[in-house]
Amino acid sequence: MFADAKKIMVFIPLPIVSHLVSAVDTAKLLADRDDSLFISILIMKRTPDTKISSYITKSPHPRINFLPLQENNSIASGSMGDKNWVLALAESHKCLARDVVVEMMESQKGRLAGIVLDMFFTPMIDVANELGAPAYINFTSGSAVLGLLLHLQSLRDDDGKNLKEYKDSDVKISIPTYVNPVPAKVWPGKVFEKETGFLECARRYRETRGIIVNTFLEFEHHAISSLSADAKIPPVYPVGPMIQGGGEESDENKRKREEIIAWLDKQPHSSVVFICFGTRGSFEGDQVKEIATALENSGVRFLWSMRKASPKESVAFPGEYENLEQELPEGFLRNTNGIGKVIGWAPQMAVLSHPAVGGFVSHCGWNSILESVWCGVPVAAWPLFAEQQANAFQLVKEYEMAVEIKIDYRKDSGVILSAGKIESAIRQLMEPKNKVRVKVKEVHDKARAAVVEGGSSYNFLGRLLQDIMDNAH
């Protein structure tokens, strides 16, 4: 009876732009490869991210649509500041999501081929089970980190280990997705806190039909092979790199982009170091001054995206400074005039793909790592939070394709990194004959090859579609 029914996939992303864009990019890949697939992306109203509404106004694809989840008053309003707010958000929207999907399937007379869930929305697996649809996880970080989470979850749940004992220790343990033992100091901070529910998510990944990862086989060969060899882990589908565009830009940001690119156009090839810590990264006071001193003393050309920290208790993203000069050491802007430019918001992909940019001081967010690889720009690793320390460890110690600033740095530690340490890393990064430059170039070529027809990610996407379609018949 379902042979000719419309095949519909449902995506339920975390309502934060980077996770939403990841869901849309994955949906586009699937829709582009199979004309019979229609995709609905459920959008939750409660979100700390103001950019969501402007992002969803543009249609990403003729067979992809956005479905708002209209909140009812019975949904408990957990605070975004709560340690487990993401799980609470998913839990409180389960009935709503189920009802919306049921209503949609009835009105469209379709066949539910599967539900793709955000990596933090594992309570929604219950919805998929109730509707008899396979659940897939959209994992927005790398496969080595996926293996780290699954291994730590198994240590806790199967071997009865108390992970808190490892916190701030010098212990290193063997993790199947890494070649080198991984120090506890680079594990995501949330694994030490039971109340975040972080490892509960990892435990439930094991119940799903598959895990979609934004990575590619040639980049994380060891990690992907080890995950694929473990019978207790669902199939992993590395279908990346999916590179996020900037989404829609405001007129103000378009103007800033033009000004930044015009400045880069005047700089020599590979001469500029780009300093940017992502949408959530910012420093204050003394650390800003140390970075400024390092840049001035290095004599290297630079483009520095300097963001104003949001108030301590706020979940808002960093913003723009009204007056940069007040935050920087006296005379810095005058002394570096001509060789450096300090900006607020940055169009990261446009900057990294500019031929003048030869190095990237980065927080090692996964999207930023993939963008640096895609553009062939080597990284100096300065992680701040989440899984960034583990990403930095992977780049510096596993792959030797990044310069270390401090891979176990944590933003909330209160540690100030000295200008000397930062300057030394920047000089090393911008050295034309640095071996990390050669390694990044090799991976850059492989990244481009992975996504074209016949490439590894292209083939994994085909396998994923096959699995989805087998269920849809």
The CA radius of gyration of the chain, in Å to the nearest whole number, is 22
Take residue 140 and report the two structure tokens written for it. 């927005």
User: What DSSP letter does each residue of 135-167 carry, written as one string?
Assistant: EEEEE-S-HHHHHHHHHHHHHHHTS---GGGGT
The DSSP output letter for 64 is E
Q: 165 phi and psi, to 5 degrees?
A: -65, -25
Provide the β-strand partners of residue 112: 8
Q: From 183, 124, 253, 226, select the one nearest 394 (Cα to Cα).
A: 183
92: CB partners within 8 A, 6+ apart: 75, 76, 78
What is the SS3 assignment for 368?
Answer: helix
One-letter amino acid identity for 300?
A: V
168-16-401 Cα angle (round to 5): 50
Take residue 461 and report the two structure tokens written for it. 């996407």
Task: Choose the catalytic residue: 25, 34, 49, 118.
Answer: 118
* Longest CA pairwise span in the chain (Å): 75
Take residue 62 and report the two structure tokens written for it. 């003729």
In contact, 215 and 345? CB cutoff 8 Å: no
Chain-centroid distance of CA 347 in Å reads 16
Task: Choose the catalytic residue: 19, 93, 151, 363.
Answer: 19
Burial of 385 (0-12, 13-18, 19+ CB in 10 A): middle
CA atoms within 13 A on the CB side of 399: 30
Burial of 98 (0-12, 13-18, 19+ CB in 10 A): middle
Q: 236 phi and psi, to 5 degrees?
A: -105, 135
What is the SS3 assignment for 53?
Answer: helix
The answer to whether 118 is a known catalytic residue is yes
Q: 248 phi and psi, to 5 degrees?
A: -75, 135
Q: From 443, 442, 431, 382, select the one nearest 407 (Cα to Cα).
A: 382
60: CB partners within 8 A, 6+ apart: 24, 27, 28
What are the residue numbers of the active site? Answer: 19, 118
